[in-house]
A = this chain, B = another copy of it.
């Protein structure tokens, strides 16, 4: 029964995280307010908001995806994991705000910079959650083996920082870096999948 108990705790953590991520993704679309006119021109003004939405949708999809793989390796849920997870959800919950501000201002420097800071803080929160789970699993941590050198996790903050600096002078470059970083992550962490399958045999 101890096992059932633990897995229920994990199930609820996953369900709660999924709930928040699903809502965060969906309320972003509330920024896409129908333009006043009914012409095609009226729609064109929404293009930057739409593009910001696409970018953030992909980012939140990546987070959901990786979160899903990461928690898979997690056997028990401790209080520290709960709070590290809430910390990650906090930064992700701000994405609709920073996305909307960036889109509405047609990728002006300051909103593009703030978007990058949001991504950076979410990445740091994800890294803290990863460390917390590895720590709770002890020396034979599946996640530790799976993550390995974790070059994506290590490179991303530098890319975000580069983009944040770039956004002051050249916001378009920042956007290219944000999109590029998303592309790196779109491939799910095959290493976790592989190791997990080996373990289960």
Contacts and interface: CB of A to CB of B under 8 A. Distances in A.
A40 interface: yes
A26 B29 contact: no
A65 interface: yes
A121 interface: no
B72 A5 contact: yes
Contact of A25 (B20, B22, B43): B20
A86 interface: yes
Interface of A: 1-2, 5, 8-9, 12, 14-16, 18-27, 29-30, 32, 34-35, 38-40, 43, 54, 57, 61, 64-65, 68, 72, 79, 82-83, 86, 89-90, 93-94, 96-97, 100-101, 104-105, 108-111, 114, 186-188, 190, 193, 196-197, 200-201
A114 B193 CA distance: 40
Contacts of A29: 24, 27, 93-94, 96-97
Contacts of A97: 29, 32, 34
Given A1-B200, A23-B22, A110-B40, A32 B187 contact: no
Contact of A93 (B57, B94, B100): B57
Contacts of A201: 2
B101 A188 contact: no
Given A93-B29, A188-B82, A18 B16 contact: yes
A57 B22 contact: no
B26 A100 contact: no
Top-6 shortest CB links A-B: A19-B22, A34-B101, A38-B108, A38-B105, A23-B26, A79-B188
Nearest to A101: B34
Nearest to A57: B90
B19 A23 contact: yes
5 contacts: A20-B26, A26-B27, A34-B97, A38-B108, A61-B83
